[in-house]
Structure formats: structure tokens, C-alpha cells
Amino acid sequence: MNKLILGRYFPGDSWIHQLDPRSKLLACIYFIFVLFLANNWQTYALLWIFTLLVMYLSGVSFKTYLRGVRPLIWLILFTVFLQVLFTSGGTIYVDWGPITISEFGLTNGVYIFCRFVMIVFVSTVVTLTTKPIDLTDGINSLLRPLRALKVPVDEFALMLSISLRFIPNLLDETQKVMDAQAARGTDFGEGSLVKQMKTLVPIFLPLFVSSLNRAEELANAMEVRGYQSGEKRSTFRRLTWQKRDTLCLIFMLALTAGLAFLRADGSILH
């Protein structure tokens, strides 16, 4: 649990820290779509250079990013494994019944792995360099036009803010409960699957009870402060769009132009 960095904020004064949360959100979403323009090693090399540059500019150590991607590595490898097995074309290396490993399958597997890892790295940059409350304000500002369609933007932003705020607390509390159970002789990951599932019950019950108590305390605190759903609220924090934010989006357009230039007109759909 202590390896998960979802929702955690690392204070700093880097160039990425100083960006407006709206520009970081837009750049992150845009980057995910731009990934699908890459279809050869040159375009993926350019994307890796961009990703590593952003990680460096964030001022956060590379070990922290590796720690964040480590809990997801098995899910990523499983997706890559399926991609390798179910993509055919080119030279056939293994043909054993329904299992076929081909040149195109291995190539697409490498590409899928790079995409997943880069998405995790770039999204982690956004969460590590942006305070949860600023991230919520940014999402609220970007979704503001949906108010004309009667979409409860404020309630959505509030739920997101609460979720991001308490995810690290929930992870830390989970680790404390696991340490307490281990001190009492509980062996996690030992025995059969049924036994391992039974060892999770003493973890889920305290977490479930503490989450309910925390939710009740938060609801009481909001009620005491006069919070009313649907009412127009003022904000203490003001988001300011600066030149560096415009430069960030221009840089994303330059990345798109570079990918379009290096993109190969291949017949494989990536």
C-alpha cells in the first residue's frame, strides 16, 4: 500500500508545479489522444523523450514514478500478453493451436506497453504536482459550460475533491491495519486462495467502519458550516492563466506536428 502514490501531492516549485491546473489537465488528456498517432519506433522515441522531459521538469525523482507504476505492472503485462497472442501478421514465430506469436503481435505488444507506462507517468506528473483542491477547481472550471445543460458540476467537483483528499488517508490506514494484523500473526499471501481471502476480512471490516465514521463526521462538519447543495458558492482560490500555460499547449501542438512528420503510413492499426 505504501507504494501507491495515487492522490498524493509532492510540494515543490518546479515549472510543472507553477502551471495552472487547467493547462495540466488539458495537456494530459490531449497527450493520451496523441499517443495513438505513434506507429513506429521514431514516434515512440519522440514520445518517450517528451515523457522523460516532463518527469524531469516536475522536480520529482524518477524512483517515485517507478514506485507508482510498479503496482500496475502486472495488469499492464497481462494486457500486453493478450495483445501478443491475438495479433497476427508478419513472420510467425510460434504457432501452437490457438496460440500464435507473430512479428506484428510482438511489435504491438511493445507499443501497448509503452503507451500504458507513458500514460501512467504523465498522469502521475499531474497528480504529484497539483494539490487535490487545485485539481478540483481546474475540473470545475473546465466543466463549467455544462451547467447550461443542468449538469451538477459543483457536486461532481465536490465528490472528486473529497475522493482525492481521502484516498491517501485510506491507503495509509489500510497499511496500519495490515501491520497490526501481521503483528498478531496474520500471514498475508500464504496458503490457498480461500485462506488468503479470509485474511482480508479483518482488513475490510475496520476500513469499512472507519470510512463510514469519517463520512458521517464530514457530513456533520459540512452541515454545521451551512453547505447547501445546488446553491451558488463563492471561491477563495482564483485560477490564473499565465503565459507559461499557453506555452504548454503550444508545446503539445509542436509534439503533434512532430508525430505527424515521423508517422509511418503502415497497414497495421495500432
Question: b/e string for 97-115 if b means 16 or more Cβ within 10 A?
Answer: eeebbbebbbbbbebbbbb
Same domain, 122 and 176: no
Listed residue (77, 101, 98) closest to 87, CA to CA: 101
Report DSSP state, residue 35: G
99-102 vs 92-96, strand pairing mode: antiparallel
> Residue 258 falls within a domain, yes or no?
yes
Q: How many residues does the chain have?
A: 270
Both 225 and 245 in one domain: the answer is no
Same domain assignment for residues 205 and 249: no
Same domain, 182 and 254: no
Looking at the fold, whether 26 and 116 belong to one and the same domain comes out as yes
Has residue 150 been placed in a domain? no
206 lies in the same domain as 105 = no
- Domain assignment present for 55: yes
Number of structural domains (the chain) is 2
Residue 144 lies in a domain: no
**What are the pLDDT tens digits along the chain (270 aa)?**
455 666 677 888 888 988 998 899 999 999 999 988 888 888 999 999 999 999 999 888 888 888 777 777 888 888 888 777 777 666 676 667 666 777 677 888 888 888 988 998 998 888 888 887 788 788 888 888 887 787 777 777 778 777 777 777 777 777 787 777 777 776 666 666 666 677 777 777 788 888 888 888 888 888 887 777 666 666 667 788 889 999 999 999 999 999 988 886 543 334
Residues 4 and 122 in one domain: yes
Domain, as residue range, for 39: 1-131+238-264
Residue 61, phi then psi, degrees to nearest 5: -65, 150
Do residue 25 and residue 69 come from a single domain? yes
Do residue 34 and residue 96 come from a single domain?
Answer: yes
In a domain, 139, yes or no: no
> Domain for residue 108, yes or no?
yes
- Residue 160, in any domain of the structure: no
User: 214 and 99 share a domain?
Assistant: no
158 lies in a domain? no
107: left (phi over 0), alpha (psi -120 to 50) or beta: alpha
* Same domain (yes/no): 70, 123: yes
Could you tell me if 176 and 252 lie in one domain?
Answer: no
